[in-house]
């Protein structure tokens, strides 16, 4: 059984003006997401700025998220690292904190071989008892996993159950799904490619868009699962201009700007990320108005 089906939000981490984690605001965001129909919370992923958190902050955010959500929907913790030992530590602690699953990005910078990737993921998965999703995003990590590697991991390791695919390489994804023959739970990692990946047998999306449009993103997936592909596609295409603006600068700069424009007051980014360029923010606000969320 899949960890979740539908739209999981890659949730931002709200910060105070002084740069500390804003836990009271995080609670508000979690309640808004659940009320908006979001099917899962992804805590401390790329969008959550995990790369600038201390290990202590990382686990505190996961633990607090699990406490607030309290089993209402699954919580998946981002615990990947380019250091296998560090990823094992974060994963074990996330399980102790109450996470229902883990999202593990490919180890960046080291540029491991396919053999190294298999060894890395096996070591982490074998240290925990909860389901694991691989996270394939070569554009940010510089590492490409082959379809063979992903299928091998999902076949040979019982708790490696699926992949968040953000490569944008439809041919490779189709090859993987053909080879997998049902052993991989596929999630889109790109908001503008949800419906195409659902058509390949996907279970849903891990979404940045859901931060600002949880109901619409949920409904896009739900309509597809209910057989209304025309409605699902309409929702996908309606969102494309906004999605484009949400990625006009590196994530999560635009989505945090969008949430602040909506009055959600999620605070600044941590350096080296900086505030959005004024011209880009103006284009983002225009897209939000046209989409009907501002």
Active-site amino acid positions: 135, 164
CA-to-CA separations, 22 to 18, 32, 263, 293, in angstroms, rounded: 10, 16, 15, 24
Exposed, middle or buried by CB within 10 Å (0-12, 13-18, 19+), for 181?
exposed
Task: Give residues with Cβ within 8 angstroms of 118, minimum separation 6.
Answer: 149, 152, 153
Q: What token pair was written down for 267?
A: 């605070």
C-beta of residue 147 within 8 angstroms of C-beta of residue 172 = yes
CA distance 162 to 184: 5
Q: What token pair was written down for 84?
A: 């296998």
* Angle, alpha carbons 261-9-292 (nearest 5°): 40
């Amino acid at each position: 059984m899949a960890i979740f089906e539908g739209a999981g939000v890659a949730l931002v981490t709200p910060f105070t003006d002084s740069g500390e984690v804003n836990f009271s605001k995080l609670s508000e965001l979690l309640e808004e997401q659940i009320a908006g129909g979001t099917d899962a919370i992804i805590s401390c992923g790329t969008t959550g700025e995990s790369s600038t958190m201390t290990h202590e902050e990382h686990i505190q955010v996961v633990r607090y998220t699990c406490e607030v959500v309290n089993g209402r929907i699954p919580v998946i913790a981002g615990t990947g690292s380019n250091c296998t030992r560090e990823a094992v530590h974060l994963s074990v602690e996330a399980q102790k904190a109450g996470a229902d699953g883990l999202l593990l990005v490919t180890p960046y910078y080291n540029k491991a071989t396919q053999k190294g990737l298999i060894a890395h993921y096996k070591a982490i998965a074998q240290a925990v008892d909860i389901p694991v999703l691989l996270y394939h995003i070569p554009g940010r990590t510089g590492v490409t996993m082959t379809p063979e590697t992903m299928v091998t991991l999902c076949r040979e390791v019982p708790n490696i159950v699926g992949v968040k695919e953000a490569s944008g390489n439809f041919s490779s994804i189709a090859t993987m799904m053909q080879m997998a023959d049902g052993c991989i739970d596929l999630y889109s990692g790109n908001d503008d490619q949800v419906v195409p990946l659902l058509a390949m047998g996907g279970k849903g999306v891990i979404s940045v868009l859901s931060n600002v449009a949880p109901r619409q993103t949920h409904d896009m997936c739900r309509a597809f699962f209910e057989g209304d592909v025309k409605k699902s596609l309409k929702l996908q295409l309606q969102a494309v201009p906004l999605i484009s603006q949400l990625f006009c600068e590196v994530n999560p700069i635009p989505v945090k700007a969008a949430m602040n424009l909506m009055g959600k007051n999620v605070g600044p980014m941590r350096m080296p990320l900086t505030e959005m360029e004024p011209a880009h923010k103006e284009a983002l606000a225009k897209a939000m108005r046209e989409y009907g969320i501002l």
